[in-house]
Structure 1
């Protein structure tokens, strides 16, 4: 993003503030007609992309170029026409809504604006999101022009250029102004603004201090603080990279200072930040899109995600504990741990979060609940002098919310174009035929193929776009195998998120490695091992609805315990410690045993619990002597440190 200065900075800020105010007003007092809402959404945000993001390395970094101004001005026209330029005294949006798609002619002005919109969305994706998604969208559009020349399952009838432009520009269900952009323009936009307000109010520091108080004194304290704070802050930010920079700037240096390897500290931050997107009550933007695609209330989705998210962070915590014990690390310096009075002095900043949760519990829509959560930020900040927000602070939060919306709006528009390419040509059915042909009757093979596809997508495109595309091609296949709708979409959602922690392209690991000053690939490998719980939980959804809290409590408790015990064995096998250091001969069998405890559904769940609990107890007792020696060493080291601290405190100097 450019570092704008002078009048251009204030102009961009004014546009971003206007975008936030528009979405706040419509979210609180009633959205516009869908086509109009989506048109205004892109009318404001698409031009802003060319002002905020340079075209390349040689472009000015402090101001837009002449070409940027021209593209920004052109970007206004398609959305302005779509919203309602005068045409016989009627709004174009009404005309578009009433036209018969693929039957009514495409007027020359619509053809011109459609081409402009497609080209500018692709270019904005390249600048502001990622060249990979821009290339993917461009390839999909190119495929529509040559599909009659393609062989095998890629072959499709000739599609006229006018129909391609019509599909991308004038359709109300697909394309640039389709339903996916509609979700971005309503629910997602509200929660992006909510996240900007919560972050700007100082909640991030509250979560850090709370994590220090809860976990700071334990072995490897800073790493556990990071896990706790990322779990809490990630559910508000909804972005793994934003979470890395918000919490990692505190926790990664503290972990390195305590004795953790740099790549381990970065991996812990990356894996924890990625998990924030599956942590209720807010989760990532994909969860709101899931609610719209599946027609399942967001409250139901958030409730169903609780068990899986707890298991995810449980494995990271237990892995961090094992690594700390293996390295003989202690907790934070007692002088660095805040008192409860210091932590609780900022607890009033959580009032907006509880307002939002309470509104959703009362049955209000998530967007309306987010609206009241945003409204509650300012009065709650005035409960204490040191947290008071002034008008300048509110304007800054509105501007941040508008800027943050640009990337998500473009990703949704791009995903809408690509999904339209898949559906128009029948590629969704072709992909389904390929997967079912390779998998046969085996659900897990189909799951592996879909997981790999979504992971590859997620390595190159944002989580939101990866989920949308993955849900279009993968969720229907899983449903053919009898997987419930919610479980199928949660499976795709998990793997679209886990791509951020999966090498070789792990964006969260790259962000964390930039803070830790270590190899991104090494950090990615650590993050992948820590995030393995997400892979296990994702596949657990395929054979059981218990972790989605949609079964009897007997089965829910059993599956949760089985997964917790299995993940403990996995962590022990990966990091070489249980009660004491583990030899390789013991580590290797623990990994398949952990997977068996979680995924081997032919064995009833409580039998799996009994088997794995027996293994864990036997391993614990078998390492008793080794653990005693380990504890003796730790006690001696603690005594030496205590003597050194006492000597420093009593020294005359």
Structure 2
């Protein structure tokens, strides 16, 4: 009984601090954010200590950590990590006025900075992933050994005091750098908006709408998963959260209708990951990209439309062929919701449309989000079953605060990695290495950077992953290959998203596998197979400006058609179905042909489109004839 009381007390403490964090972000968002260091310091003061209580102990197994209770060491670490953040807040003016590498670093600051760095590393290990912990740790080892490194990795000696000064006292980089600033303002506000949307029952609306629109068709359960994950994923800001929210319903539904467990998990993973690319919110990616690039938000969501459309259309096509191959029917109309059921929750879309409208009218994202949060609360009272009362509102704010904890830690880790790359000049060196390996061949350079992005993004939440890889990939693409800045950012953004679905470290696939009870690696490979359109679209941003809605209307339509038709051939190859089941030799030929026609911008559009259509016509004729002959033989 005493142990249960302790758990309750810990839960109350976490809830209070998470609630305070949400209230702080709403308050500063509404009256005007504090001076950057003050805002970021209080942001970390409220959130970082919680990770040691939410995920206590030094256990390697995260599942065991979830059920463990905090010990005296966890409480001590929670208090200890709060002290440097609080010091940074109270000393913000003096720290802002100091000159980096000129003003003497106080002994107190050396101790506090060192303690904070060590504890952030442990927080990353517990709360984000071992992969990101390893990357940041390797980065610090590199800082201490860079003078002994050969070639491009060589840099001057960096004393401990200089490393701590850069990490703890720098305003533009390090712990309190720009990325932490984004999480303390934009991301925090939009996570609250996402929690409000989820708490109001909008998820139920998306699921019912997905059922009604796609449920009765071939492969209906899988198509429902794709549609609901696309809708919800744009709002949630986390592919894993998306998997657990929509996948807990869609994955069992797919398995019940005959889909293999790994395929059901793969569909949900691919769709949930893709939700991060879906306008209007793109999991907060659009706002982060706007902050980094200086490109207006409206331009970014317009540029994202074609790529997201290609991604989800191709998942639909692949799911359809797979269902036809397996003979899976849609859901019985009697089991589907009526339009009346859908319309009961339709008022919950008002805040989303309000958000889009405000953003299109060029209001700031923070203002638009705050108004939309208030609108969500008031709109929920239009119907009795969706009303958000005082207790429910507290639960939503607490949940938002808890979600912000992990993002805050991941963003701090991303800040630290970016500082390591810039401090040692590795960003420039990596660009030089890529150029020396591939010369001026953009295709090979893009391939190398795509692989690098997938590796760096594994095990890291989408937004921090995008920020880290953008620091490496974008300068190389823009400076060495003359790729337009926005195209370079979308290239990096897509591969950072897809890292969440790419084996062997696929966070979203592991989440889906936990629900489907399938092997997580097999699930990740199924997700990769389904998400192939994302890899093609991401790569195409380097060569096809029409994907960014740049160019003539005819050019945009033809380029989109060329990509979709080529990918359809690839989908036919990987599912092994087109009118009828196909033989392996034909599939082996079709797979590279489809990718070739989808990606090869050197070929005229007319050749790519006509080649894909001709291949489909031949397949249709041959497979139809084969099916008729088979039927005649059976008779």
**Could you say which TM-score interval applies, normalised by the shorter chain?**
over 0.9
In structure 1, how many angstroms separate the alpha carbons of the residues matched to 2:262 and 2:68?
A: 34
The 3-state SS of whatever aligns with 1:474 is helix
Displacement of 1:28 in angstroms is 2.2
After superposition, where does 1:536-551 map in structure 2 within 5 Å?
A: 536-551=536-551
In structure 1, how many angstroms separate the alpha carbons of the residues matched to 2:632 and 2:305?
A: 39
Tell me which residue corresponds to 1:363. Answer: 362
Decide whether the 8 Å contact of 2:56 with 2:68 is kept in 1: no
User: Is 1:19 aligned to residue 8 of structure 2?
Assistant: no
After superposition, where does 1:317-466 map in structure 2 within 5 Å?
A: 317-466=316-465
Q: 2:77 aligns with which of 67, 71, 86?
A: 71
Displacement of 1:59 in angstroms is 6.7
Decide whether the 8 Å contact of 1:549 with 1:556 is kept in 2: yes
Tell me which residue corresponds to 2:497. Answer: 497
Displacement of 1:628 in angstroms is 5.7
Decide whether the 8 Å contact of 1:555 with 1:605 is kept in 2: no
Q: Deviations over 1:202-245 (max 9, x none)?
A: 11111111111001110111011111111111111121111111
Displacement of 1:626 in angstroms is 4.2
Displacement of 1:126 in angstroms is 1.0
The 3-state SS of whatever aligns with 2:499 is helix
User: Is 1:80 aligned to residue 86 of structure 2?
Assistant: yes
Decide whether the 8 Å contact of 1:3 with 1:61 is kept in 2: no
Displacement of 1:481 in angstroms is 0.7
Decide whether the 8 Å contact of 2:457 with 2:469 is kept in 1: no
Displacement of 1:609 in angstroms is 1.8
After superposition, where does 1:114-125 map in structure 2 within 5 Å?
A: 114-125=113-124
Q: 1:50 aligns with which of 52, 56, 66?
A: 52
Task: Assess, with a 3 A threshold, how the Cα gap between structure 1 residues 59 and 129 changes in structure 2: closer, same or farther.
Answer: closer
After superposition, where does 1:87-486 map in structure 2 within 5 Å?
A: 92-479=91-478, 480-486=480-486
In structure 2, how many angstroms separate the alpha carbons of the residues matched to 1:75 and 1:544?
A: 47
Q: Unaligned 5+ residue runs, structure 1?
A: 85-91, 637-653
In structure 2, how many angstroms separate the alpha carbons of the residues matched to 1:297 and 1:55?
A: 44
Displacement of 1:494 in angstroms is 0.6
The 3-state SS of whatever aligns with 1:466 is helix
Displacement of 1:144 in angstroms is 1.4
Decide whether the 8 Å contact of 1:285 with 1:464 is kept in 2: yes
Task: Assess, with a 3 A threshold, how the Cα gap between structure 1 residues 267 and 363 changes in structure 2: closer, same or farther.
Answer: same
In structure 1, how many angstroms separate the alpha carbons of the residues matched to 2:285 and 2:134?
A: 21
Decide whether the 8 Å contact of 2:462 with 2:496 is kept in 1: yes
Displacement of 1:593 in angstroms is 2.2
In structure 1, how many angstroms separate the alpha carbons of the residues matched to 2:254 and 2:283?
A: 27
In structure 2, how many angstroms separate the alpha carbons of the residues matched to 1:515 and 1:630?
A: 40
In structure 2, how many angstroms separate the alpha carbons of the residues matched to 1:630 and 1:323?
A: 21
Task: Assess, with a 3 A threshold, how the Cα gap between structure 1 residues 629 and 317 changes in structure 2: closer, same or farther.
Answer: farther
Displacement of 1:21 in angstroms is 0.8
Task: Assess, with a 3 A threshold, how the Cα gap between structure 1 residues 630 and 179 changes in structure 2: closer, same or farther.
Answer: farther
In structure 1, how many angstroms separate the alpha carbons of the residues matched to 2:66 and 2:129?
A: 19
The 3-state SS of whatever aligns with 1:256 is helix
In structure 1, how many angstroms separate the alpha carbons of the residues matched to 2:622 and 2:605?
A: 26
Root mean square deviation, CA, Å: 2.0
Q: Deviations over 1:253-302 (max 9, x none)?
A: 11111111111111111111111111111113444322222111222212
The 3-state SS of whatever aligns with 1:543 is coil
Tell me which residue corresponds to 2:507. Answer: 507
Task: Assess, with a 3 A threshold, how the Cα gap between structure 1 residues 628 and 195 changes in structure 2: closer, same or farther.
Answer: farther
Displacement of 1:537 in angstroms is 0.3
Q: Deviations over 1:394-436 (max 9, x none)?
A: 0000000000001111111111111111111111111111111
Q: Deviations over 1:78-126 (max 9, x none)?
A: 1111112xxxxxxx21222222111111111211211121111111111
Tell me which residue corresponds to 2:587. Answer: 587
The 3-state SS of whatever aligns with 2:218 is coil
Decide whether the 8 Å contact of 1:4 with 1:62 is kept in 2: no
In structure 2, how many angstroms separate the alpha carbons of the residues matched to 1:80 and 1:400?
A: 24
Q: Deviations over 1:157-192 (max 9, x none)?
A: 111211111100111111000011111111111111
Displacement of 1:4 in angstroms is 7.8
Displacement of 1:148 in angstroms is 1.2
In structure 2, how many angstroms separate the alpha carbons of the residues matched to 1:629 and 1:254?
A: 36
Decide whether the 8 Å contact of 2:54 with 2:66 is kept in 1: no
In structure 2, how many angstroms separate the alpha carbons of the residues matched to 1:453 and 1:206?
A: 39
In structure 2, how many angstroms separate the alpha carbons of the residues matched to 1:390 and 1:630?
A: 63
Tell me which residue corresponds to 2:572. Answer: 572
Displacement of 1:446 in angstroms is 0.7
Decide whether the 8 Å contact of 2:274 with 2:308 is kept in 1: yes
In structure 1, how many angstroms separate the alpha carbons of the residues matched to 2:361 and 2:211?
A: 33
Displacement of 1:460 in angstroms is 3.0
- Give aligned pairs, total: 626
After superposition, where does 1:508-527 map in structure 2 within 5 Å?
A: 508-527=508-527
In structure 2, how many angstroms separate the alpha carbons of the residues matched to 1:388 and 1:627?
A: 55
Decide whether the 8 Å contact of 1:241 with 1:273 is kept in 2: yes
Q: Unaligned 5+ residue runs, structure 2?
A: none
Displacement of 1:595 in angstroms is 1.5
- The farther-off stretch of 248-257 and 139-148 is 139-148
In structure 2, how many angstroms separate the alpha carbons of the residues matched to 1:397 and 1:189?
A: 13
Displacement of 1:20 in angstroms is 0.5
- The TM-score with structure 2 as length reference comes to 0.95
Task: Assess, with a 3 A threshold, how the Cα gap between structure 1 residues 311 and 158 changes in structure 2: closer, same or farther.
Answer: same
Displacement of 1:583 in angstroms is 1.6
- The farther-off stretch of 192-201 and 456-465 is 456-465
Decide whether the 8 Å contact of 1:59 with 1:65 is kept in 2: no
Q: Deviations over 1:578-598 (max 9, x none)?
A: 122222232222222222222
- The TM-score with structure 1 as length reference comes to 0.93
